């Protein structure tokens, strides 16, 4: 992945987390209501739900998406990963840029 695509990837991850938070708070919840609660277009809600299902964070039901049974443990793992990512980004900020002469 090129660095030029990083902002788009971060935004997609942010959207997925917003959708996951809404599923945890309101689930079972359908696509239309998720779109309303998160201000995310329905087609993007569908995509995010698919990704969250693939990651086994949400489960589809006839009533709508519900959080995985072990969601608290999974969210703790996500939080730890985000903390490590923040720390790594801060470390990278301290690295001086390569000189144009190199």
Q: How far is CA 37 from CA 14, 41, 61, 80, in A?
A: 15, 11, 19, 26
Residue 96 lies in a domain: no
Residue 56 lies in a domain: yes
Of 1-5, 40-44, 71-75, minimum mean pLDDT range? 1-5
Residue 24 lies in a domain: yes
Residue 42 lies in a domain: yes
Residue 30 lies in a domain: yes
Q: What is the pTM of this model?
A: 0.78
Residue 48 lies in a domain: yes
Position 100 pLDDT exceeds 60: no
**What one-character-per-residue DSSP string does 24-80 give?**
HHH-SB-HHHHHHHHT--HHHHHHHHHHHHHTTSEE--TT-BEE-TTHHHHHHHHHH
Residue 100 lies in a domain: no
Structural domains of the chain, count = 1
* CATH value at residue 36: 1.10.10.10
For residues 52 and 19, the answer to whether their CB atoms sit within 8 Å is yes
Q: Which domain holds residue 60?
A: 3-68
Position 5 pLDDT exceeds 90: no
pLDDT band at residue 102 using 50, 70 and 90 as cut-offs: low
pLDDT in tens, 7-57: 888 889 899 999 999 999 999 999 999 999 999 999 999 999 999 999 999
Residue 98 lies in a domain: no
Kindly state the percentage of the chain with pLDDT values over 70: 94
């Amino acid at each position: 992945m090129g660095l030029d695509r990083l902002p788009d990837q971060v935004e997609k991850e942010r959207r997925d987390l917003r959708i996951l938070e809404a599923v945890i708070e309101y689930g079972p919840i359908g696509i239309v209501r998720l779109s309303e609660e998160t201000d995310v277009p329905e087609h993007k809600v569908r995509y995010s739900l698919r990704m969250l299902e693939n990651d086994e964070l949400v489960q589809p039901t006839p009533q709508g998406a519900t959080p995985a049974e072990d969601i608290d443990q999974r969210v703790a793992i996500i939080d730890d990963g985000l903390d490590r990512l923040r720390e790594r980004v801060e470390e990278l900020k301290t690295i001086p840029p390569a000189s144009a002469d190199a």
